[in-house]
Amino acid sequence: MAAACERPFNGRQLLPFGNVISIACSWETLVRLVRLPAVAAILACLLAPPAIAQQQDPEQVVRSIELFREAGKVLQHPRCLNCHPAGDRPSQTDTMRPHNPRVVRGPDGHGAAGLPCSSCHQAANYDPARVPGHPKWHLAPVSMAWQGLSLGEICRQIKDPSRNGGLDMPALLRHMSEDTLVGWAWAPGAGRTPAPGTQASFGAVMRAWAETGAYCPPD
């Protein structure tokens, strides 16, 4: 009982915690709980303020979420979303229309064997034909699909090593601020709107978000 009381818990864990209380406080159990220390322990449980209130500075949570919303202007920009689709097909342009010609992600995101991305997308942008380029040009895996997700869902996805390619926070921050495929979004070639700001300023916002606890928008 005491162990259950000491365990830090948050809102989601309240329910099982409440169950412990209600089991312990059911009539039959109470009849058996004649020893005062046990009753005192239950009372302590009931009266203890939730650990969540002691650990989180509400202002910092708000600040962290604000920072993530700022970063969201980049994360939810068409330059990023076009390559992080939910289905099998990339999208194109600021309107994010389905990729024309029709291409599919293939086994590893590099396209079908007969029509790999690299047959059109070269190592650099080719502006005369409006074809964007980069040596690593390929689709993000389905586990990293952002299209159709809310900002909070994107946040929880990128923090989750089982869905982000095994990145811990330092590696995730490095990817955001240094990866040159991510960086393409700020130099996307003729006729394409770049992502807002610079990759460096985006990296700085992400770092500040991590330093304030990396909280996600609830929505």
Contact with ligand HEC (CB under 6 A): which of 93, 122, 150, 201? 93
Which of the stretches 20-28, 31-39, 57-65, 177-185 binds ligand HEC when contact is defined by CB under 6 A? 177-185
124: nearest Cα among 70, 188, 77: 188
Task: Read off the tokens for 106.
Answer: 């293939």
List the x/- string, 191-210, binding to ligand HEC by CB under 6 A: -x--x---------------
If one asks whether residue 119 binds ligand HEC (CB under 6 A), the answer comes out as yes
Across 144-156, b (16+ Cβ under 10 Å) vs e yields bbbbebebbebbe
Between the alpha carbon of residue 136 and those of residues 116, 154, 206, the distances in Å are: 12, 23, 23
In the complex, minimum distance from the CB of residue 116 to ligand HEC, in angstroms, rounded to a whole number: 6
Contact with ligand HEC (CB under 6 A): which of 115, 124, 149, 204? 115
Task: Read off the tokens for 163.
Answer: 């869905």
In the complex, minimum distance from the CB of residue 113 to ligand HEC, in angstroms, rounded to a whole number: 11
For helices 151-159 and 58-75, angle between their N-to-C axes, nearest 10 degrees: 100
- Single-letter code of the amino acid located at 151: L
If one asks whether residue 80 binds ligand HEC (CB under 6 A), the answer comes out as yes
List the x/- string, 134-173, binding to ligand HEC by CB under 6 A: ---xxxxx--x------------xx-----xx-x------
Partners of 92 in the β-ladder: 97
If one asks whether residue 82 binds ligand HEC (CB under 6 A), the answer comes out as yes
In the complex, minimum distance from the CB of residue 67 to ligand HEC, in angstroms, rounded to a whole number: 15
In the complex, minimum distance from the CB of residue 137 to ligand HEC, in angstroms, rounded to a whole number: 5
Q: Computed from CA positions of residues 114, 115, 120, 124, in that sequence, does the dihedral angle turn out positive or negative?
A: negative
From CA 68, how far away is CA 80, in angstroms rounded? Answer: 16
From CA 209, how far away is CA 3, in angstroms rounded? Answer: 33
Task: Read off the tokens for 97.
Answer: 């229309």
How far, in whole angstroms, is CA 130 from its chain's centroid? Answer: 31
Q: Which is nearer to ligand HEC, 7 or 136 (CB)?
A: 136
Contact with ligand HEC (CB under 6 A): which of 42, 68, 111, 203? 111
Q: Which residues bind ligand HEC (CB under 6 A)?
A: 74-75, 78-80, 82-84, 90, 92-93, 99, 101, 103, 105, 109, 111, 115, 117, 119-121, 130-132, 137-141, 144, 157-158, 164-165, 167, 175-176, 181-182, 184-185, 192, 195
